[in-house]
Amino acid sequence: MYVVPDQHGRTAVVTGANSGTGLEAAKRLAGAGAHVILAVRDVGKGERALAEVRALHPAASAEVRVLDLADLASVEKFVVGLDLPHVDLLLNNAGVMAPPERFETVDGFELQLGTNFLGPLALTNRLLPLLLAAPAPRVVTMSSIAAHWGRIRTDDLQWTRGYSPQRAYGQSKLADLYLARHLARVADERGWALLSAAAHPGFTRTNLQTAGASLGRDKPSRSLLDLPFVPVQEAAEGAEPMLFAAADPDAQRGAYYGPSGTFSLVGPTGPARLSRHMRDERAAAWVWDAAEKLTGTRLPDAR
């Protein structure tokens, strides 16, 4: 089990912290001494998650705040409401996976693109002034092995034609990887102390595989988790690549971390493979620019 280094004096924002890898990250960062903000859509679920954190760590410094990444007004309200001198860690963890039909966010974006990428990018841009006020800030964005088959649909980013649940998911997670790597490139060019990295959880047992796939259906959808021959791990293991990128002294700017075991689905954290299209800096810059226009947010000026 990865041991998170001491985090006393640091403030961490964890999206989707009410369950799965987000809750696991919140528990372990709080246990290491960080002040953890559990950023969740549902206050009730957030409070239950906070109770779990405090059951493990009675002296934990943690709080629940409302954040809906599928609503840009909620993103802005969340950031405006942070009365803090700085934020040290942002873990872009929350997401939705493969709803069977094309749904839209309140802002009219395809649900997976809006929740998994546009919302996190808007949150990152809005939080950057607070992050850059910290001495050694980090942003970690959760991608997926689905990024390998993802492609950016430059002519139809919102999947208004021929919607495919899995391909739209792959696009959103490739965009997440681009978010992390483009931000790392900008930080390097501008001399920011910010470390931006990406991670993926391999194949981890959470509600991600079923919640999205069950949207609009009366019965829960079956999942690959039900197949006996697919290696799978629990949230405690699936959160470790994200925690390594967020806290380890050896984590590198622009790196991508994931499980190093069978088919990169399970196992201890190591560098994840980046295919040629995943390393495409021009594509990363294009999708970042498109996202800024769609969300009405932008990087802070160079400092």
Q: d(Cα 84, Cα 174) in Å, to the nearest integer? A: 32
Q: Could you tell me if 221 and 100 are in contact, meaning their C-beta atoms sit under 8 angstroms apart?
A: yes
- Look at phi and psi of residue 32 and say left if phi exceeds 0, alpha if psi is from -120 to 50, else beta: alpha
Catalytic residues: 169
